[in-house]
Structure 1
Amino acid sequence: MPNHTGRARHLRLVLDSSTDREAEAQAREMLPVRPAALAQLILRVNLEDVRSSVWRQVKVRSDLLLPELHANVQSMMGWSETARYEFAMDAAGRSWAYRPRASHQHSDGDAVQPADHVRIDSLFVAAGDVVRYNHSGTWSTTIELISVDPDIDDLRPVCVDGAGAGSEPGDVTELLGVANSRLRASPLPRSIEVESAAASPAIARLFRHTRTAPTPRLLELLPRCELTIESSVDLLVAQRAMSKLTGFLQRVGRGLRLTDAGHIPSLVVDSVREELLREGARNLGLVHVERGILEPTRIGAQLADDPVALWHHCAARLPLGRREIEKDVGTLFLVALAASASARQREAMVAETMDGLQHGLQGWGTDQLDALRIQQIAQPTVAFLDLIGAHGPLYYVSGGDGGSPSWSRRFARDALRT
């Protein structure tokens, strides 16, 4: 039930469920969790089915998207870049392929996914990983991860070794000079969409789900999120932001006996707030109930006195939701918070972007998809942000400054980046 601000009185935090159909569909995209830190990948590009050995070894940044890797390989090898390409890999006894969004067909099934917003380090995870690369209609090229280099002083792609195709045996210097001149001759400036998708798994997932729908208002806000900035939260900021959660965990202590009805005793102070904190802490894996006693989990006990680690733990769990549409719309609210968008800007951006998310809205009453209904879809994430005080008192009032605390923008950015 909404109050006069349009805000839902009941804050509902929902735990992610691996049994949810849409969550299972997302898991089938076979995108492993990306490394937390940017690095460089040493990849070996092998031309197969040729008489003499033809290969190039290239060093590229780990946050490249598959279309960028395609363009780099084409340039380095001296091939004519084509709009059609495919990357494929085998995992769990099945084959998985990634194609450009423009050529991706829904009839291909779950084994074929859009490539446009997939980071290469979600395919190349460990040394020895091999991906098949098709750019000419036949599977004639493989790309293998040789090693990971943590040195990121120079993130420009560079060919570091190779053999064959036009060079004399042993004349590696000339081969590298030609390959690197081609790479330098075709710089690849990153668009806002590409840069944001590379920096944020949540944004990448959002773009995959919007497919070809235009999202100009979202693209306008993304630069203000500063997603390329690494987290630099300090102790004082984390203490302010996590004060409600840390206070709750400390009150729980080693265990808190619940009432016969399963509630927190009223003597613990604000019972409504405490119950919401309990639900939020449970959904974040910080507490659980054992034989009528509310107890911290192992991670909850560790984080009770470490607000910086608690900050990162919470940010890593957002956006919340059982269904992909809940996570996607939650991502939009995180974008608005990270960009310090006004309520009017937020509502316009969310409404526009949701036009491209209609495929996930079955059962949500899309005929009356107003601002309040949209907020209800994003409620798992919005409720948590409300709970920790990230939203200011005027956050839901159209057109005004929500007066959010100074740390909220940084927290939203970290949630998007994790």
Structure 2
Amino acid sequence: MLEQVFRDEWGRVLASLVGFLGDFDKAEDAAQEAFAIAARRWPESGVPANPGAWLVTTARNRAIDRIRRERTLAEKIHLLPPPEPVVDEVDDTVIKDERLELIFTCCHPALPLEGQVALTLRALGGLETAEIARAFLVSEETMKRRLSRAKAKIKATGIPFAVPGPRLLPDRLGAVLAVIYLIYNEGYSGRVDLGAEAVRLGRVLAALMPDEPEAHGLLALMTIHHARRRARFSGEDLVLLDDQDRSLWDASQIAAGRAALDRALALGGRGPYVVQATIASLQTRERIDWPRVAEMYRRLADLTGSPVVELNRAVAVAQAGDPVEALRAVEALRAVDRLDLDDYLYLHSTRGELLQRLGRDTEARAAYRRALELATSTPERRFLTRRLEQI
């Protein structure tokens, strides 16, 4: 119970402290101290009615005490408000607003993408540096350096602790959504805890920005995909959509994802995350409408100009019953010199699948072998090896 409260409240408490102190490191130190005090006291006294407010107040008091003890910072004392003696004086809505400001600070375009991701997970998710390092398969020291560089750049360049104005919001919101989706995709590749963390961050963002359809679209997309996570692997084997055991899907999460999608559509959402969520929802129906899926991929390709989306559209066209047209689309992608897809595993595995369906086994073997050369995970290698054995 305490661990769940801490995870739920960390981002809100840290956001309030960053706004209060104007410094990430000092805010983290104060938050950690408050959480440590709670871990000692709450098992005996019980969890307060408003744990977030209790933690913020305790952390602020500790931060002020620490600054008072540091003689070199004595001149700053008069700039700080006095400690809040009553926990209920901390306004819950203010904490939420500050958390939104923290999200946009973490995802500021002046920071490198890797720094945005690490800082978002540390600041909003409350993940330890070691946890983030393990999730992204880098050393803890490497991740510490990323976090330190990001915090230092925020301080040195004066990146504001604020939500950007209306003129800048669309571009900045796009960066925030992209960072959260990148975190999810890292989790979707097998690190399920990281995927769950991205869904939680998406839920936070959608609650803080209730009128932004793309925020709800991203939440819907991640939630629906996450609902199928237990069926995607059987041991170390990758299981394709058609072969998944649907009894392993989380029906309540699918329903929650569809509700988020309905909200996005009601807000007039037509952006790429809303379209992707629509595709994900269609693929969880008992009978998948593949022609409609293909049409949605066409819309997504128009929005993004992505050759990977075109490849997915080709798969949907094949599933709709036209592997010849699907293969023609894949070959067209290969023929476009400016698109560097030769090192993209799924181009070759998709091409192998289509060639196999059309009885062109020799070419299918070559395509699968090329895909196998590019495979980096055990489930991918096992899946492609099985495909080669089946021909």
Superposition TM-score tier, normalisation by shorter sequence:
under 0.3
Select the structure that is richer in strand: 1
Q: With structure 2 as the length reference, what TM-score do the two structures score? A: 0.23
TM-score, normalising length from structure 1?
A: 0.22
